[in-house]
Every structure is written in structure tokens, then in C-alpha cells.
């Protein structure tokens, strides 16, 4: 009985999809527009945007830096490139003309917040947070595959109370984590598995 119901649902979906593709208001006169609609539908059905199956090469320009922290775009670009290369789904190329897709981004914030104090008012714990927005685009057509804002990475640490962690080390770890999240979002459309328990407890 469940198998029959499943077949009925699949048949209904196929019929609905066929009607959508036959609708000029959706597909337009341009066949490429219809193909883009089909791709978007299947990306949505699969649970999120992903890179096109025929894309093999990615270009990553320096992200725009809207913070006052120097060196952020250079370090982040290196770490994202390394992370995507290790994944082996896409080859990172050094020119947009050689790419199938390109990943643009903006570093929107860099913060170091004091979050805990001792009885004398001296800071005992801090939180470093970096936030970025990204956009993945097809090089050939300029069509946007996905946009994501508010991708963040953060770490709590202390440079006065053991275990003491230097700001430089925290900076490296926060950038590494942000690069991993951007890689996961670019390749699979999700980075939920990299979120902390506190983040997962909040609505996104």
C-alpha cells in the first residue's frame, strides 16, 4: 500500500513538473530560461542549492573587506582555496576565464568581544567572530547559483587565564573554520554539520 501511495505521489509530481515546463510564463521563449528553471526546481527538491554537475573549475577572487582587520581577504582566500582543493570536487583556477563557476564574497564583520570578567573587572574571556556573505555564479551565463549571507565563525578564548590562547592562534582557527563552512556551502549547499550545538539551537 505504501509503495502504491509513493508511486501515486511520484506520478503527481511528474505531472506537475511537466505542466510547469509547458507553461510559457515560467519557461519563457528562451530554451535556456526553461533549462534554468528545471535546474532550480531540482536543486530545490534536493534540499538546497549545489554546484552544477558540469562545473569542474572554480575561481575565487579576493573577498571585499568591510572590516578594519588587515590581511583578512588574503588569508581567507588561501584557506578557502586549500579547503576546496582538498575536497577534490572542484579544481581551483587562477583566472575567471578558466572557470566554470566563480565564488565572490564580502567579509562583513570582524569582532572581538569581552564576554567574561573577574571580580576586579578584568577581562577573563573574549569571543572572536568573523562573518561573511558569499555568492556562487556560473561564469558562462552570469546566472547566480546561490547567495548566502551571515556565514559566521567564532571562538571563545582567554589571553589572561589558563589555558591561555594567543589572539593570533585564535584568528587562524576562526579563519580555518569559516573557510570550511564556505567550502561546505559551496560544494553541498549545507554546512549544518559544522555548526556548534549553540548555533543549532537557534533558528537560522
Query: What does the pLDDT look like over 60-74, one tens digit per residue?
Result: 999 999 999 999 999
pLDDT bracket for residue 195 (50, 70, 90): low
The reported pLDDT for the residue numbered 48 is: 43
Cell numbers 568591510 label which residue? 66
Give, for 74, the enclosing helix (H) or strand (E). Answer: helix 72-87
Mean pLDDT along residues 141-156: 95
- Confidence (pTM): 0.72
The reported pLDDT for the residue numbered 26 is: 42
Give domain limits for the chain: 1-47, 51-200
**Which fold, 51-200?**
Double Stranded RNA Binding Domain (3.30.160)
Does the pLDDT at position 41 exceed 80?
A: no
Buried b (16+ CB within 10 A) or exposed e, 158-179: eeeeeeeeeeeebbeebbbbbb
Mean pLDDT along residues 18-25: 47
Does the pLDDT at position 21 exceed 50?
A: no
Does the pLDDT at position 33 exceed 90?
A: no
Cell numbers that stand for 111 in this block: 569582532
Rounded Cα distance, 11 and 185, in Å: 31
When the pLDDT of each residue in the chain is averaged and rounded to a whole number, the result is 81
Mean pLDDT along residues 22-44: 46
pLDDT bracket for residue 192 (50, 70, 90): low
165 touches 128 (CB < 8 A): no
Per-residue model confidence as pLDDT tens digits over 113-134: 999 999 999 999 999 999 999 9
pLDDT bracket for residue 189 (50, 70, 90): confident
| 142 CA to centre of own chain | 18
Does the pLDDT at position 82 exceed 50?
A: yes
Amino acid at each position: 500500500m505504501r509503495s502504491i501511495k509513493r508511486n501515486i505521489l511520484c506520478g503527481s509530481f511528474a505531472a506537475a513538473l511537466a505542466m510547469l515546463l509547458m507553461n510559457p510564463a515560467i519557461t519563457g521563449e528562451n530554451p535556456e530560461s526553461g533549462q534554468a528553471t528545471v535546474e532550480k526546481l531540482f536543486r530545490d527538491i534536493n534540499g538546497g542549492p549545489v554546484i552544477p554537475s558540469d562545473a569542474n573549475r572554480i575561481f575565487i577572487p579576493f573577498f571585499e573587506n568591510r572590516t578594519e582587520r588587515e590581511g583578512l581577504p588574503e588569508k581567507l582566500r588561501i584557506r578557502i582555496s586549500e579547503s576546496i582543493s582538498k575536497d577534490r570536487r572542484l579544481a581551483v583556477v587562477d583566472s575567471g576565464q578558466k572557470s566554470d563557476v566563480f565564488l565572490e564574497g564580502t567579509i562583513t564583520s570582524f569582532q572581538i568581544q569581552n564576554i567574561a570578567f573577574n571580580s576586579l573587572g578584568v577581562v577573563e574571556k573574549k569571543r572572536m567572530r568573523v562573518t561573511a556573505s558569499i555568492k556562487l555564479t556560473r561564469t558562462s551565463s552570469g546566472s547566480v547559483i546561490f547567495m548566502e549571507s551571515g556565514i559566521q565563525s567564532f571562538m571563545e578564548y582567554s589571553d589572561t587565564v589558563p589555558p591561555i590562547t594567543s589572539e593570533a592562534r585564535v584568528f587562524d582557527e576562526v579563519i580555518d573554520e569559516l573557510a570550511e563552512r564556505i567550502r561546505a556551502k559551496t560544494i553541498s549547499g549545507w554546512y549544518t554539520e559544522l555548526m556548534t550545538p549553540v548555533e543549532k539551537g537557534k533558528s537560522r
